[in-house]
Chains A and B, each alone.
Chain A
Amino acid sequence: GAGVSQSPSNKVTEKGKDVELRCDPISGHTALYWYRQSLGQGLEFLIYFQGNSAPDKSGLPSDRFSAERTGGSVSTLTIQRTQQEDSAVYLCASSLAGAGYNEQFFGPGTRLTVL
């Protein structure tokens, strides 16, 4: 079946602009995660959605970052007033459920470059 998909694959933007990144999880997966991979910081957790529960936003680096998940499926990560330090690869993952023993499956990522 189809895996996790993300769009766009690459995004170049100017400092100060807003960007939206999209994630389509595997059908039937109730848990969805966003991570960020940057050269200096490695792979970091950003936010986690589990069903209809309130999301775990503990990894968001600033209030310029937000995410939503509509209808328990597609998720959008929004970065407002982008800064150069936001340049990174943003990875989305999904699993059958969240906390517990389930495997996470990752999408190909969106490479964001802020000029």
Chain B
Amino acid sequence: KQEVTQIPAALSVPEGENLVLNCSFTDSAIYNLQWFRQDPGKGLTSLLLIQSSQREQTSGRLNASLDKSSGRSTLYIAASQPGDSATYLCAVKIYNQGGKLIFGQGTELSVKP
């Protein structure tokens, strides 16, 4: 059974700091991994999608890496801003499980001005 774990569960940093969020998964037979952002009381916003054949994806200040063989992904946020405060979720889509995503529990990020 696929399990997805995110560390840390919560993180508080001062504005301007670079930070790394971690995601690990137990079954490497995946199509892809998605990173999402969720603001309080809102739905999920897709940030980055990394296909299983890719090593990383970048969008603005965000960079996500994927090491499928070791079951790990990281989300790097450069020069953090208070507007980055949200919960960040990673999810994997695994083979032979239809199209469903398996989610981690999320990392709650707070960026202090």
Contacts and interface: CB of A to CB of B under 8 A. Distances in A.
Contact of B46 (A98, A103, A107): A103
A77 to B, nearest CB: 15
A104 B34 contact: yes
Contacts, number: 64
Q: Is the interface of B mostly helix, strand, loop or mixed?
A: strand
A101 B51 contact: yes
A104 B98 contact: no
A6 B30 CA distance: 29
B103 A42 contact: yes
A43 B103 contact: yes
A106 B99 contact: no
Interface string A104-115: 111111010000
Interface string B75-89: 000000000000001
Given A42-B105, A42-B106, A101-B32, A108 B43 contact: yes
B44 A50 contact: no
